[in-house]
Amino acid sequence: MSASAARSAPPLAPGSRPVPGYEVLAHLTRTGWLDVYDAWSEERACRCAIKTVRPDRRGERRLGERLLREGRWLRDFTHPHLVRAYETVESPEPLVVLETLTGETLSHLLDRLRRRPAAADVALLGTQLCSAVHYLHRQGLLHLDLKPSNVVVDCGHAKVLDLSVARPPGPAPAGVGTRCYLAPEQARGGPLTAAADVWGIGITLFEAACGDRPFDRGGTGDEEPRDGEPRDGERAGEGGSGGPAGRYPQLERSAPAVGSRRRLPPALAAAVDRCLRTDPSSRPTVAGLAAALAEALPGPPRPASSRV
């Protein structure tokens, strides 16, 4: 099948069986390299989600490896604020079976709500993101793509999705992540630390509180996340505007204070602003951020050991 024909190939129809034991119920979404299906697991007698590489990109071995790597991590990890994978399948085509989540993505929720979330809800979301990120860091991974579309919320309970660009701390090429959400050091390339995920939490809370992003250059700002490898004739991190600084607005200016977009309790506003400092060393630790956000929640203070 040619690339153009594969690109226009319809998704699997309801009733299809991509592998034994799983039946497709519906096609959920198609991204730049993935198809995601609502499916039925005969073994578990429950619904699940199946992620597969798109037909037109199945020849790219690194994408299949990337999908299976994410699936193995999510299969082995167990955390209340992190999506869980049931299993990975390598043949005939790579796929990952995930739990079905109720609720909706934070990005969809923010678009649907007529009013912006209460400050206490923003703080609660932040503590839950800190908990998930703290767990990932203890497993030796940085998420590197925290944003509203990678968070599902159901009745105040948040779960983090998508470890497709996750990697251990250390050197990374420019552009790992999603353009308008990644930290300046992700845009620039170089050593990455836990501070990059603190930025990701902060920019997610900024959008949740204010309804828009601190950095946007038009469009949705939520394009396909990049893993830093060259694509479509580009060198990683460079675009038509002439290099990293032209491509990434967070390299051109500091984030505006959240208070310039919305009035929030001073402690909560200060916590979000500290996350979005340009210098990674000046951002709070995940534990420090969790403690600051917990103080913004109503009710008596909780012991430090329960904050992360």
pLDDT, one tens digit per residue, over 144-167 is: 999 999 999 999 999 999 999 999
104-306, CATH topology level: Transferase(Phosphotransferase); domain 1 (1.10.510)
Confidence of residue 10 (pLDDT cuts 50, 70, 90): confident
Nearest CA to 209 among 276, 279, 141? 276
Q: What is the mean pLDDT of residues 133-150?
A: 97
The confidence score (pLDDT) of residue 302 equals: 53
The better pLDDT of the pair 242, 233 is held by 242
Is the pLDDT reported for residue 192 higher than 70?
A: yes
Q: What is the mean pLDDT of residues 267-285?
A: 97
Instruction: Report the C-alpha gap between 22 and 145 in whole angstroms.
Output: 29
Q: Please answer whether residues 305 and 228 qualify as being in contact, where contact means their C-beta atoms are separated by less than 8 angstroms.
A: no
CATH class in words for 8-99: alpha beta
Q: What is the mean pLDDT of the chain?
A: 86
Q: What is the mean pLDDT of residues 114-121?
A: 91
Helix and strand counts by DSSP (H, E) for the chain:
9, 10
The confidence score (pLDDT) of residue 189 equals: 93
Type of residue at 76: D
Nearest CA to 109 among 95, 86, 125, 92? 125
Q: Please answer whether residues 91 and 71 qualify as being in contact, where contact means their C-beta atoms are separated by less than 8 angstroms.
A: no
> 287 to each of 86, 128, 131, 198, how far by Cα in Å?
29, 12, 9, 10
The confidence score (pLDDT) of residue 145 equals: 96
Is the pLDDT reported for residue 306 higher than 80?
A: no
Q: Is 173 helix (H, G, I), strand (E, B) or coil?
A: coil
The confidence score (pLDDT) of residue 58 equals: 84
Global model pTM greater than 0.95: no
Contacts of 113 (CB under 8 A, 6+ apart): none
Sign, CA torsion 213/215/220/224: negative
Q: Where are the domains of the chain?
A: 8-99, 104-306
Confidence of residue 23 (pLDDT cuts 50, 70, 90): very high
Q: What is the mean pLDDT of residues 290-303?
A: 79
- Any idea what DSSP says for residue 107? H
The confidence score (pLDDT) of residue 185 equals: 97
Q: Can you read off the two tokens belonging to residue 260?
A: 């310039």
For 72-105, the pLDDT digits (tens) are: 999 999 999 999 999 999 988 899 999 999 889 9
Question: How deeply is 263 buried, as exposed, middle or buried, from its count of CB atoms within 10 A (0-12, 13-18, 19+)?
Answer: exposed
Q: Can you read off the two tokens belonging to residue 244?
A: 């990293």
Confidence of residue 307 (pLDDT cuts 50, 70, 90): very low
The confidence score (pLDDT) of residue 246 equals: 55
The confidence score (pLDDT) of residue 235 equals: 33
Confidence of residue 237 (pLDDT cuts 50, 70, 90): very low
